[in-house]
Amino acid sequence: MSLKEQCPILHFGDLGDERGKLVVIEGGQAIPFEIKRVFYIYDSDDTVVRGQHANRESEFVLVNVAGESKVRITDGTEEMVVKLDKPMMGVYIPKMLWKDMYDFSRDSVLLVLANTHYDGSEYIRDYEEYLKEMKGRK
């Protein structure tokens, strides 16, 4: 399965009116898992690279609710870059894919939804270790 198939772009409905915009994201409906953890990254700039890891168990949906950023996703052989620049758009990232978030605009607020509670032991933070683990899975 290609990365594009594994990491679909998700589109969320814009329910706003003259009072303002409203976007609803529901776990198990708008995204393919129940939400267990939510965090966001802000006050970064275009020189900062976040992420730089893979997760053995966690799946994610990334949404730039303000500003924009890019996410590079790779399985060690194929790579894709997604520009997140609309609050009604996100990208789904399944477990065991390496991800880097970068090129943050000054006003960027990157919302991250996860299917697991935080567990540092499920993170792979060394790219060479990640490649070895991926090779062992094939």
Among residues 117, 123, 69, the alpha carbon closest in space to that of 95 is found at 123
Q: What is the pLDDT of residues 41-95, one digit of tens each?
A: 999 988 999 999 999 999 999 999 999 999 999 999 999 999 999 999 999 999 9
**Domain boundaries along the sequence of the chain:** 3-137
Helices vs strands, H then E, count in the chain: 2, 10
* pTM for this prediction: 0.94
Backbone dihedral angles phi then psi of residue 22, each to the nearest 5 degrees: -140, 120
Q: pLDDT, tens digit, for every residue of 81-94?
A: 999 999 999 999 99
CB distance 38 to 112 below 8 Å? yes
| Beta-carbon-side half-sphere exposure of residue 53 (alpha carbons within 13 Å) | 14
Catalytic status, residue 11: no
pLDDT score recorded for residue 138:
63
Superfamily of the domain at 3-137: Jelly Rolls (2.60.120.10)
Confidence of residue 16 (pLDDT cuts 50, 70, 90): confident
Average pLDDT, the chain: 96
Which residue among the candidates 40, 42, 53, 95 is catalytic per the annotation? 53
Give the pLDDT confidence score for residue 84 in this predicted structure.
99
